[in-house]
Amino acid sequence: MDRIILFTMAAMVVGFSAGGHAEELRVGIARDMPSVTVETENGPVEIRRIQDTEHEITGDFAKTSRACPPFCIQPMMPAEGVTTIGELELIDMLRDPEAVVVDSRTVDWYQGGSIPGAISLPYTQVGDRLTELGCEPDFDGWDCENAKRVALFCNGLWCGQSPTAIRAMIAAGYPVERIFYYRGGMQSWRVLGLTVTE
In a domain, 11, yes or no: no
Taking the complete model, does pTM exceed 0.75, yes or no?
yes
In a domain, 62, yes or no: yes
Does 184 reside within a domain? yes
Strand pairing partners for 101? 151
Give the tens place of pLDDT for each residue, 7-17. Answer: 333 333 333 33
Whether residue 18 lies inside any domain: the answer is no
- Asked if residue 179 belongs to a domain, the reply is yes
149 within some domain: yes
Does residue 13 form part of some domain? no
Q: What is the pLDDT of residues 79-127, one digit of tens each?
A: 999 999 999 999 999 999 999 999 999 999 999 999 999 999 999 999 9
Give a yes or no: residue 196 inside a domain: no
Distances in Å between the Cα of 51 and the Cα atoms of 26, 113, 129, 143, 193 are 7, 19, 38, 45, 8
Q: Judge whether residue 136 has pLDDT over 80.
A: yes
Its domain, for residue 73, covers: 27-191
pLDDT in tens, 15-56: 333 334 457 899 999 999 999 999 999 999 999 999 999 999
What CATH number should be reported for the domain holding residue 165? Answer: 3.40.250.10
Tally of structural domains, the chain: 1
- Give the residue-averaged pLDDT of 143-157: 97
